[in-house]
Homo-oligomer: A and B are copies of this chain.
Amino acid sequence: MEAVIITIGDELIYGHTIDTNSRFIALRLSGMGIRTRRIVSIGDTEEEILDALRDAWQRVQIIIVTGGLGITHDDITRSVISRFRADFPGTGLIESAIDNEIGSAQGILLRLEDKCLSVLPGVPFEMKTMFERGVEPLLRQIVPAFFIRHKFLRTASVRESDLYHMLDNLPRITGLGSLAFLPGPEGVSLRITVQSDSEIDARDKLHRAVELIRGKIGPHIFGEDDETLAQVVGAMLKQRGLKIAVAESCTGGLIASRLTDVPGSSDYFERGLVVYGNQSKSDLLGVPPSHIAGFGAVSPEVAVDMAVGIRNISGADVGLSTTGIAGPAGGSPGKPVGLVYIGLADRHGTEVHRQLFTRDRLTNKSRFAQGALDRVRKRLVFLDQPSARDGFDR
């Protein structure tokens, strides 16, 4: 079954507002097995609205309209709907209202045989509630049982091309559903999509596809769906009763900010230092000036010094550091823009990792921060294996 989504508002066609309503609706329709055939945005113009309604009515069974309802728009929409109804004299077209429990503007529902048109307000919060309570239950009755299920698997410190090579069993996943690679400033996500006419079967296929992928790249997956890396790392630290302290150069406070985006982060995060200049690295963290002069501020040696330094002065269990070149300036042939060293210190010892990205400043900062947090996650996972600590403790 197919749908058309129509979003109304001059602010949309002027480009002043990004249309997020259609995304919400498309996602929900997709979850019911309804394919959105097109999304159309138009201005607050009666003729345009009527034209879009008529066109959509020819194409599909389900039409969802948002916007053009409300205190200032009521007249336009009522008038358009009344003109649209006039297309169907004596056909048994039924009009009813969709309750709005949290706002003032009621929605409108038109039904004729197997077709259904609903009009909702454009205010996202009202629209969502009315869609869930007034539209979705009706669609469930109309739509034959068909289930599409998605799962997002999140990674933070591995390249798309490397993931692709690790997943050499793509054809087997494809047998269950489809797989998409979605790179972004927070890392690369994988989207798995399966479909079936049985909910249990869809769930089972999704489960098997996820297991297949986890079998290949499990250690790189930090979470699923809406989980953030800072949430995952925070929960792991809390569960283990560990505290973390960070010393940031190139990430400039972004790691601390992401950690403290999570409610309750004070349980495991007590302090962070943004040591942007060389002087502050020595003053605050005890990085030997000779290391900075000899190896450079962006070097594995200084990354380790910083991680050890922040751990020592804070008394935290885990010390994490970054030093790198976010760009756009400051790169050199040996140390290009996008290079970062990540240092890690805990009671078992130290680690340092080199990563290279080639993006703009803000994307580099974001990837650096994610890479550093992912190192903490991988370290904690590693230490969970009993054998991992052999010969380490001291």
Contacts and interface: CB of A to CB of B under 8 A. Distances in A.
Contact of A37 (B48, B248, B276): B48
A273 interface: yes
Interface centre among A37, A255, A326, A362 (most CB of B within 10 A): A37
Contacts of A246: 274
Contact of A269 (B260, B276, B326, B361): B276
Contacts of A182: 16
A365 B261 contact: yes
Given A257-B253, A266-B277, A16 B27 contact: yes
B252 A254 contact: no
A279 B271 CA distance: 9
B24 A15 contact: yes
Determine the interface band of chain A, counting residues with CB < 8 A from chain B. 35 or more
Given A40-B39, A252-B261, A272 B273 contact: yes
Interface string A89-120: 00000000000000000000000000000000
A232 interface: no
A365 B253 CA distance: 13
Nearest to A261: B362
A133 B269 CA distance: 48
Contact of A257 (B39, B180, B252, B271): B252
A329 B276 contact: no
A284 B271 contact: yes
A345 interface: no
A294 B63 CA distance: 59
A29 B26 CA distance: 27
B274 A253 contact: yes
Interface in A1-53: 11-20, 22-30, 35-43, 48, 52
Contacts of A251: 257
A176 interface: no
B271 A327 contact: no
A355 interface: no
B38 A26 contact: no
30 contacts: A11-B180, A12-B26, A13-B35, A13-B36, A13-B39, A15-B29, A15-B30, A38-B48, A38-B52, A39-B41, A40-B40, A246-B274, A248-B253, A248-B256, A252-B260, A252-B261, A253-B253, A253-B255, A253-B256, A253-B257, A253-B260, A254-B260, A257-B365, A261-B365, A266-B277, A272-B273, A272-B274, A272-B276, A273-B273, A280-B314
